[in-house]
A and B are shown apart, each in its own frame.
Chain A
Amino acid sequence: MLRILKRALTAGVVTDSYPAITAEPPDGFRGKPVIDFARCTACDRCVAACPTDAITVETTSDHHAIDTVEKTLTLNYGDCIFCGECEAACPEAVHLSKEFQLATISKADLRTQARYTVDKDGVFALAEIVSQAPSQDDRLEEIGATVREKVRQLFGRSLHIREVDAGSCNGCEVEITALNNPIYDIERFGVHFVASPRHADMLLVTGPVTRNMEIALKQTYEATPDPKLVVAVGACAIGGGIFGKSYATWGGVDTVIPVDAFIPGCPPRPEALLHGILVAIDRYPHRSSLNTGSSHKEGAKGTT
């Protein structure tokens, strides 16, 4: 007993004041891959190197100029597993930044796209940068405090999350569990993990949704009272990740239930998860108005 007291008294505060301390990952951390389109020569080496086809290229002929072809290069952070193979294949134009807070409310926002023209002599030119995934740097400030504030306003001081593993490798679970450790201590922001979907405001779903988890996931969704939020965690949950779509997997949570926010990562770090939860909460008022009408019926089905 005395030992326990001593431990409790001497431990002090170990919890990090997010984001001040841990938001900056160590050197060598592999975050968001950034393509420098000005330096890119549309050589497709990064496309060949990517193990999850997160980088793709589409070639189309230009109708006006027969001698030139158009190449559209797309980098999808949702499919990225942050292995760094693209950087190794093309250190000139690709580098993995330290940025890891990549969550968005729409899959389209996870894409960076650029269009090139290549003529018959192999001379290429950057035509336009079609879309660029939004940079989250400006949103990094005081995320923890913002979460707490939002949770207080919207959910009456507590956001209850039910975690559902729809066939993940357990990597995402390791990181979600870490949110409960004394370093991150997510409960201080008013966020609690609960044992039943019936107590939950939010479902945190991982995995590519296996054939064998599809029904359980749907039932869990139906058992969660409206209004509710669904967050897809990790590359598998966003678009199937490295497992893709097969006889055994459906290739993403939004193929089975509606999703409000997507958190890229393989797996996302605990701070990225916290950031993603905030992004989802931002969407909350929108969702709650969307759901009125069908909500009662869905809820009733879930309880039978």
Chain B
Amino acid sequence: MMEKQQYITLLSKSLGDRLTVHDAVAPNEVHMSLREQSLSTLPETCSLLIKSFKAQFTTLVGNDERSLNGSFSLYYVFSVPADDIFLILQVPVDPRHMEVPSISQNLASANWFEREVKDWFGIIAFPNIYKLAAHPDWPEDQHPMWKDFDPQAVVPRVKGTFEFKEVEGEGVFEIPVGPVHAGIIEPGHFRFSVAGEPIINLDVQLFYTHKGTEKIAEGLSPHRAVFLAERVSGDSSFGHALAFCHSMERLSGCDIPQRAIVIRTMLLELERLYNHIGDIGAILLDVGFSVGAATAFELKERFMQLNETLTGSRLLRGLAALGGVRRDPEATSLQRQALREMIVQGKRAFEDLVNLVMASSSVLDRLETTGTLSHTDAYRLGITGIAGRASGIDRDFRRDHPHGAYPHLRFRVVTHKEGDVFARMNVRIGEVRESLAMLEQLQHQHLGEQTLTSVVTIPPLRHALGYVEGWRGEIVHWVMTDNAGQLYRWKITDPSFHNWRALKVAVRNNIVPDFPVINKSFNLSYSGNDR
């Protein structure tokens, strides 16, 4: 176990010739700046950090700092799970030469991040020059994340067509699907290349739900941004809102009341519960097991009703706040009773459901060996959360970067090796059990009445990370304040942004009719990805 100070000393000593190391307010962040003349060492430096500290690439943030220091900046964020440390490498980008060397040659997980930065900032990570976020009818010379781009601008459409990987050969066909899908789900376009039933290749075009969230947040007061954070991805309303609150709180170094920490953790687990149970139901529905699906959906609804009883919102909205939570979900005896009863009844109903599924060999037949994501691919692509844990990636921010009340809770990180649909369902089953056990530990932890600290003072021109382990995986927010303590830049990383590429790999050589269940087993967020 290495402390933050040791990191600072070690990094200054070994890499001092190419970068400078600074301390940060946040207790587990080490900030570094790459010297301009050492730009060519960027890929090597990133690989070195990864190898020496067993670090993982977490996110890449672009930032237009021309009004502050005359240049753009890229922030490469790495997590070191062993020591609960985040390494943040800042790289200055000269506006006259908008290019940096790509790190995704050695670090495939950074690929999409670099392409997004290219579309929104015009900074090319050479030679990774492909479009990702901007649709073909978006003009190449318009970069919405530049500070001088008017958020209200009406940008004319230009001519352009989507480019998909073309697979040629006898009997190879393309199946276009979306953006409006058959089910009640979010929009995205899938392009399958198939030879008969087996899928040879899948290309995915996303960003249909791009709402300019990060852009419209510029200049927004952090208090208001909490409401926007709740609407980044509807099924992770609380997760995103809390990650954002964490970032502002870490930036200002404020203390949160004990009771609020308990409530926040409780709500994160309640969010995990209704989503996991719903996903299990959806997987069962997609293999035609209606009895199981109906049972799961009924249970999910009960948990959503519990959410409403506890918080006034079925999606746990309106509770997150800077400095704590707005209300105590266990304020009345009715609420305490509802929670207590649901933990008991929910556990019983859930075990009934699991028994029902496990006894049905025809269901298991459809789930096992379907949509396999190997450990190697999952590791290479930096797959996080449940999808990663189902492929043997033993990674969970609740344990690796402890936040909330997790350091005081007994729980197990559920992992499976197989990487198929069944494994992803089993991870969810294991986590539902863990969540219920955690709620048991958390209920009646009345550590004082206070749920909100009165004022959070927000210092200007600082940046910090905020993160939680949402139900899908790690939700990471990066914020920087402006001179007035409002938002200067807010980068939202939903786990889906890491994991969409896993879907492309997992469906290969599966048959088209299995695609829905494979897709459901990942259940990635479009809105969280597109923002």
Minimum CB–CB distance from B527 to chain A (whole Å) comes to 5
Q: Is B144 an interface residue when CB atoms closer than 8 A count as contact?
A: yes
Minimum CB–CB distance from A236 to chain B (whole Å) comes to 8
Given contacts A27-B332, A51-B224, contact A249 B152 (CB under 8 A): no
- Chain B residue at minimum C-beta to C-beta distance from A269: B314
Q: Is A195 an interface residue when CB atoms closer than 8 A count as contact?
A: yes
Mostly helix, strand, loop or mixed at chain A's interface? loop
| Contact yes or no, A169 B527, CB < 8 A | yes
Stretch binding the partner chain, chosen from A61-69, A129-137, A239-247: A239-247
| Contact yes or no, B184 A173, CB < 8 A | yes
Across-interface contacts of A25 in B (CB, < 8 A): 308
| Contact yes or no, B211 A208, CB < 8 A | yes
Q: Chain B contact residues (Cβ within 8 angstroms of A): what range?
A: 35 or more
Across-interface contacts of B311 in A (CB, < 8 A): 28
Minimum CB–CB distance from A176 to chain B (whole Å) comes to 5
Chain B 227-241 residues near chain A, CB threshold 8 A: 227-228, 231-235, 237
- Chain A residue at minimum C-beta to C-beta distance from B213: A243
Instruction: Indicate the member of B180, B308, B360 with the most A CB atoms within 10 Å.
Output: B180
| Contact yes or no, A246 B314, CB < 8 A | no
Please report the C-alpha to C-alpha distance between residue A195 and residue B45 in the assembled complex, in whole angstroms: 50
Please report the C-alpha to C-alpha distance between residue A197 and residue B182 in the assembled complex, in whole angstroms: 9
From B151, B185, B208, B526, contact of A246 by CB (8 A):
B151
Q: Is A300 an interface residue when CB atoms closer than 8 A count as contact?
A: no
Across-interface contacts of B155 in A (CB, < 8 A): 211, 247
Contact with B along A166-178 (1 / 0, CB 8 A): 1111111111111
Size of the chain A interface, CB-CB below 8 angstroms: 64
Chain B 32-61 residues near chain A, CB threshold 8 A: none
Please report the C-alpha to C-alpha distance between residue A127 and residue B297 in the assembled complex, in whole angstroms: 51
From A26, A170, A216, A245, contact of B179 by CB (8 A):
A216
Please report the C-alpha to C-alpha distance between residue A213 and residue B184 in the assembled complex, in whole angstroms: 15
Please report the C-alpha to C-alpha distance between residue A84 and residue B355 in the assembled complex, in whole angstroms: 42
- Chain A residue at minimum C-beta to C-beta distance from B151: A246
From A11, A82, A195, A243, contact of B211 by CB (8 A):
A243
Please report the C-alpha to C-alpha distance between residue A16 and residue B326 in the assembled complex, in whole angstroms: 31
Q: Is B7 an interface residue when CB atoms closer than 8 A count as contact?
A: no
From A14, A176, A210, A246, contact of B298 by CB (8 A):
A14
- Chain B residue at minimum C-beta to C-beta distance from A98: B312
Given contacts A27-B334, A83-B227, contact A174 B298 (CB under 8 A): no
Minimum CB–CB distance from A84 to chain B (whole Å) comes to 6
| Contact yes or no, B312 A29, CB < 8 A | yes
Q: Is B95 an interface residue when CB atoms closer than 8 A count as contact?
A: no
Please report the C-alpha to C-alpha distance between residue A183 and residue B213 in the assembled complex, in whole angstroms: 34
Across-interface contacts of A184 in B (CB, < 8 A): 301
Q: Is B304 an interface residue when CB atoms closer than 8 A count as contact?
A: yes
Across-interface contacts of B304 in A (CB, < 8 A): 178
Contact with A along B309-340 (1 / 0, CB 8 A): 10111110110000000110000101100000
Q: Is B344 an interface residue when CB atoms closer than 8 A count as contact?
A: no
Please report the C-alpha to C-alpha distance between residue A241 and residue B527 in the assembled complex, in whole angstroms: 15
| Contact yes or no, A247 B153, CB < 8 A | yes
| Contact yes or no, B216 A244, CB < 8 A | yes
Please report the C-alpha to C-alpha distance between residue A32 and residue B211 in the assembled complex, in whole angstroms: 26
Please report the C-alpha to C-alpha distance between residue A163 and residue B183 in the assembled complex, in whole angstroms: 8
Q: Is A144 an interface residue when CB atoms closer than 8 A count as contact?
A: no
Q: Which 9 A-B pairs have the closest CB atoms?
A: A171-B234, A248-B212, A195-B182, A170-B234, A181-B297, A169-B234, A28-B312, A51-B227, A167-B209
